[in-house]
Copies of this chain bind each other. A is one copy, B any other.
Amino acid sequence: MTLNTPVVGMAGGGQLARMTQQAAIALGVPLRVLAGAPDESAARVVADVRVGNDRALDDLRTFAKGCDVITFDHEHVPGDHIRDLEASGVACRPGSAALAHAQDKLVMRERLGAFGAPCPAYAHLPAADPVPALEAFAREHGLPLVVKATRGGYDGKGVWVLDSLDGDAVRLVTDLLGQGLDLMVEEHVAFRRELAALVARSPYGQGAAYPIVETVQEKGICTEVIAPAPGLSDDLAIEAQNLALGIANELGVVGLLAVELFETETGLVVNELAMRPHNSGHWTIEGARTSQFEQHLRAVLDLPLGSTEPAAPVTVMANVLGGDDPDVYSRYVHVMAHDPAVKVHFYGKDVRPGRKIGHVTALGDDLADVRERARHAADYLRWGPEMKAHRTTANTEENA
């Protein structure tokens, strides 16, 4: 007789589904993935792949048959479709009501404001006549200001910082509205650094919080995650964990919730929400007793949550971005010989310059040492022996 294990369906075939498969293998839980094409990151490694369009209701309905629970690799499955699945009795975790707050930044701001979570000032931009609204917002909150697409953005896409409201800026906003984007404006938060709070919540209502991490971004893309966030006071760490657990509870999240935070002179401010395994949690694969991918599966299956205890005093995850030479594998030899303890993760994705194609993780006791180890591995995998030239350029740009 076979195990009576439930089937988890994940809509989306990216690297999050791919890494979820590693956890599903351990738990003996069959993972079924709805991928857009058979060569997507997860489709290359999962036995049970269905190729289809995860934005199309018919494909979602077909996919859901035989799955005990549906979860998501990204935020782009339309809420209407998820509501339709729910109405027909499919368990979607997180559900559409919670997920709306990770799909629409305006919905998120309104709900979190009502809940009392610290957020930047914001306003919706009327499509017909945005300029007076922008000018009024700038008068009240100053410049620069941040224009965001309410839906569909990720990795810095869908976010524009305006230093002034000159003709170029107005043209940009008018163009974006002309493309049919729905826009909002937010105050530009003067932050010391960015943090992320990762928590899980099960249908039973159990919550679990990982240590708060610092995330380092370059040009809107996360390049590095440091766990735990260096020098963060216990008070602020607990405040961030409780804020994320409170939001998860308030919104009825099931699965993971990542809360991207700004640390400012006066405290924490919520930036973005994600309800799925998150780049800021990749460090947990080796750096915590329970990886975020296992934790997400446990939560959506309503199993007791796993220990979030860290495995080392310091863990640093660095994203590997695509460089000019796609033959990343040939650079493994140097990276692995240079540091036998660094962990290499590759997503099996086509290599394009600047694209997230993998990550590396280093663990240890000394922050500067662990950071340098992760940085070295990620830079070498991207650039090869040319990494020094690129590092020098980056430093020069930073100093300029």
Contact = CB atoms under 8 A, between A and B. Distances in A.
Interface stretch (A25-33, A232-240, A245-253): A25-33
A358 B28 contact: yes
Contacts of A290: 340-341
Contact of A350 (B2, B47, B328): B2
Most buried by B among A3, A326, A332, A336: A3
Contacts of A46: 45, 47
A290 B330 CA distance: 20
A49 B304 CA distance: 33
A25 B30 contact: no
Interface in A331-350: 332-333, 336-337, 340-341, 343-348, 350
A25 B4 contact: no
Contacts of A363: 289
A332 B303 contact: yes
Nearest to A359: B26
B25 A336 contact: no
A70 to B, nearest CB: 19
Interface string A30-56: 100000000100011111010000000
A147 interface: no
A45 B26 contact: no
Interface stretch (A16-24, A107-115, A184-192, A217-225): A16-24
A327 B4 contact: yes
A67 interface: no
A66 to B, nearest CB: 15
Contacts of A344: 26-27
A205 to B, nearest CB: 13
A345 B27 CA distance: 5
A306 B341 contact: yes
Contacts of A285: 26
Given A28-B348, A333-B303, A345-B26, A1 B340 contact: no
A309 interface: yes
A311 to B, nearest CB: 6
A351 interface: yes
A112 to B, nearest CB: 29
Interface of A: 1-6, 18-19, 21-22, 24-28, 30, 39, 43-47, 49, 208, 285-286, 289-290, 298, 303-307, 309, 311-312, 326-330, 332-333, 336-337, 340-341, 343-348, 350-351, 358, 363
7 tightest CB-CB pairs across the interface, nearest first?
A28-B346, A307-B341, A304-B337, A304-B336, A1-B326, A307-B340, A5-B329
23 contacts: A2-B348, A5-B329, A18-B25, A19-B25, A21-B45, A22-B22, A25-B45, A26-B285, A27-B344, A28-B328, A28-B348, A28-B358, A45-B46, A47-B49, A208-B340, A289-B363, A304-B340, A305-B340, A306-B336, A306-B341, A309-B341, A311-B311, A311-B312
